[in-house]
Amino acid sequence: MTQPDTHVVILGGGFAGLAAARGLAGSGVRITLVDRENHHLFQPLLYQVATAGLSAPDIAYPIRSIFQNRPDVTVFLGEATSVDLAQRRVSGPQGSLTYDYLVLATGGVTSYFGHPEWEPFAPGLKTIGDAQRIRRHVLSAFERAEITPDTSERKKLMTLVVVGGGPTGVELAGALAELTRHVLVNDFRHIDPELARIVLLDRAERLLTMYPPDLSENARATLEAMGVEVRLKTGVVNVQQGRVDTGTEVIEAENILWAAGVGASPLTATLGVELDRAGRVKVGPDLSVPGHPEVFAIGDLAAVTDVDGQLVPGIAPAAMQMGSHVARIIREDLDSSKSEKKPRSAFDYLDKGSMATIGRSAAVFKAGPVKLTGFLAWTAWLFVHLLFLVGFRNKAVVLVQWAWNYVTYGRGARLIVRPGQE
Ligand SMILES: Cc1cc2nc3c(=O)[nH]c(=O)nc-3n(C[C@H](O)[C@H](O)[C@H](O)COP(=O)(O)OP(=O)(O)OC[C@H]3O[C@@H](n4cnc5c(N)ncnc54)[C@H](O)[C@@H]3O)c2cc1C
């Protein structure tokens, strides 16, 4: 089954794009994988980099290295800015590429619900750059609080607001509580980091709305026991430099972190096809773009309903399963082009469970009827996350670092590196 002239272009080397490229190994097609970053990023652990628990290289790996033994894969560092479906061409500032098959896997972006002007004051967490910026800003605020003689300024510097009570917001708030209550606790002479105020806001009635209510309640109680103020049914009406307005209160906070919304990669808007409200491509059952069987949209930029009619969540395992599915379809297409055409199979999502960590030895986990909380859930979380660190050779490093942090409450990645000096 060799089709040396078939060119598959994959845009995005995230979970979905990598799974597609891996699934096409040995198929004989020529693959070009384009990503605007030179690394694959394990986003589920970004909050650890933002809160000084891990360093950037612990959770990112050069895409070029991942494919160093795959001569069929060419990796380009570049940004795709438009797709011309009629001409079968992808373009960007670095040039353009034509394709026989196109796999769109450029993921999502942080969404500010129609208020992009809030972004400079409330950074989101999506890239290594975001995580490093947050870490620098959080640690610098404590340094400035140690120096300032002004009590109200000190209070503001030591207030951190996390907007959004989904898994990322819960993980961030928990990790910030640990950072201030345990890691920084003995480091300062004029301030007591334990008195830092950490507020988690969400307009919903409970945290982690995608989990059963008892797990949401467990997460809320655990965070409150760690010293986090959890404010539910509290939306945000305005964000300015160092100020969050909830409509009933203005919170003065040097650090405001946005974990509230996700939208699709802006690339989808150039396709001229139907999108959902978040800008995701409404794909067919086989994950192809309607009217274009040679183009697939997968991962966070696709709105997918699987064979059971269930909406597929925007999480890493779903993105990987979609990548594998598309690879299988392309293989079957190439096989059947020699014989009789077979109908394409529909994507069938296998829910292996989901989990969110809250802090040191606390997490929530659900898989079908199985629900776990506390240390058991945290152990499951740790195991799964290490397992999925895409064959990174630094898996062992991450494990040792975690174990060390766990025992000592240490935070080796606590350096403040000024912008431009990284
Ligand atoms: C902070 C955070 C925590 C998360 N925690 C979890 C978790 O605990 N468990 C879980 O399962 N999921 C989690 N997720 C969700 C999970 O990371 C996503 O569902 C998954 O990454 C989606 O995979 P993807 O391949 O669609 O997109 P991504 O992994 O985002 O990959 C997209 C790739 O496309 C590249 N790209 C983007 N635009 C362009 C362009 N124009 N041109 C070229 N390249 C481009 C990007 O650089 C990136 O490499 C989390 C996400 C975040 C942000």
Q: Does residue 265 have its Cβ closer than 6 Å to ligand 1?
A: yes
Interval between CA 17 and ligand 1 midpoint (Å)? 10
Backbone angles phi, psi at 258, to 5 degrees: -100, 115
Interval between CA 126 and ligand 1 midpoint (Å)? 7
Task: Give the pLDDT band (50/70/90) at residue 343.
Answer: confident
DSSP 36: S
Give just the sign of the alpha carbon dihedral 258, 259, 261, 264.
Answer: positive
Residue 385 has pLDDT above 70, yes or no: yes
Model pLDDT, residue 422: 63
Q: Does residue 46 have its Cβ closer than 6 Å to ligand 1?
A: yes
Measure the CA–CA gap between 184 and 411, rounded to whole angstroms: 9
Q: Does residue 315 have its Cβ closer than 6 Å to ligand 1?
A: yes
Measure the CA–CA gap between 335 and 338, rounded to whole angstroms: 6
**Which residue minimizes the CA distance to atom 38 of ligand 1?**
106
Interval between CA 274 and ligand 1 midpoint (Å)? 22
Q: Does residue 124 have its Cβ closer than 6 Å to ligand 1?
A: no
What is the tens place of the pLDDT at every residue in 248-296? Answer: 999 999 999 999 989 999 999 999 999 999 999 999 999 999 999 999 9
What is the tens place of the pLDDT at every residue in 111-144? Answer: 999 999 999 999 999 999 999 999 999 999 999 9
Interval between CA 20 and ligand 1 midpoint (Å)? 14
Q: Which residue has the tokens 């509290």?
A: 234
Interval between CA 300 and ligand 1 midpoint (Å)? 7
CB-count exposure of residue 85 (10 Å: 0-12, 13-18, 19+): middle
Contact in structure between 325 and 333 (CB atoms under 8 Å): no
Interval between CA 342 and ligand 1 midpoint (Å)? 32
Q: Does residue 79 have its Cβ closer than 6 Å to ligand 1?
A: yes
Give just the sign of the alpha carbon dihedral 109, 112, 114, 120.
Answer: negative
Q: Does residue 166 have its Cβ closer than 6 Å to ligand 1?
A: no
The CA distances from residue 181 to 10, 39, 105, in Å, are 44, 33, 39
User: Ligand 1 atom closest to Cα of 106?
Assistant: 34
The CA distances from residue 330 to 2, 95, 252, 345, in Å, are 13, 25, 53, 11
**Which residue minimizes the CA distance to atom 27 of ligand 1?**
107
Asked which of 23-27, 239-243, 316-320, 394-398 is least confident by mean pLDDT, the reply is 394-398
171 given a catalytic annotation: yes
Measure the CA–CA gap between 402 and 399, rounded to whole angstroms: 5
Measure the CA–CA gap between 175 and 400, rounded to whole angstroms: 18
User: Ligand 1 atom closest to Cα of 298?
Assistant: 26
Model pLDDT, residue 415: 75
Measure the CA–CA gap between 78 and 96, rounded to whole angstroms: 10
Give just the sign of the alpha carbon dihedral 283, 305, 315, 334.
Answer: negative
Q: Which of 79, 146, 153, 171 is catalytic?
A: 171
Structure tokens at 153: 């300024």
Contact in structure between 258 and 110 (CB atoms under 8 Å): yes
What is the tens place of the pLDDT at every residue in 63-111? Answer: 999 999 999 999 999 999 999 999 999 999 999 999 999 999 999 999 9
**Which residue minimizes the CA distance to atom 6 of ligand 1?**
44
Q: Does residue 300 have its Cβ closer than 6 Å to ligand 1?
A: yes
* SS3 label, residue 8: strand
Would strands 159-163 and 255-258 be described as parallel, antiparallel, or unpaired?
parallel
Question: In 6-78, where does DSSP find H-type helix?
Answer: 15-23, 46-50, 56-59, 63-66
Give just the sign of the alpha carbon dihedral 368, 370, 373, 378.
Answer: negative
Model pLDDT, residue 59: 84
**Higher confidence at residue 43 or residue 389?**
43
Give the containing element (helix H, strand E) for 177. helix 167-178
User: Ligand 1 atom closest to Cα of 81?
Assistant: 41
Q: Does residue 123 have its Cβ closer than 6 Å to ligand 1?
A: no
Residue positions counted in the chain = 422
User: Ligand 1 atom closest to Cα of 265?
Assistant: 38
Q: Which residue has the tokens 């990548």?
A: 323
Average pLDDT of the residues of the chain: 91
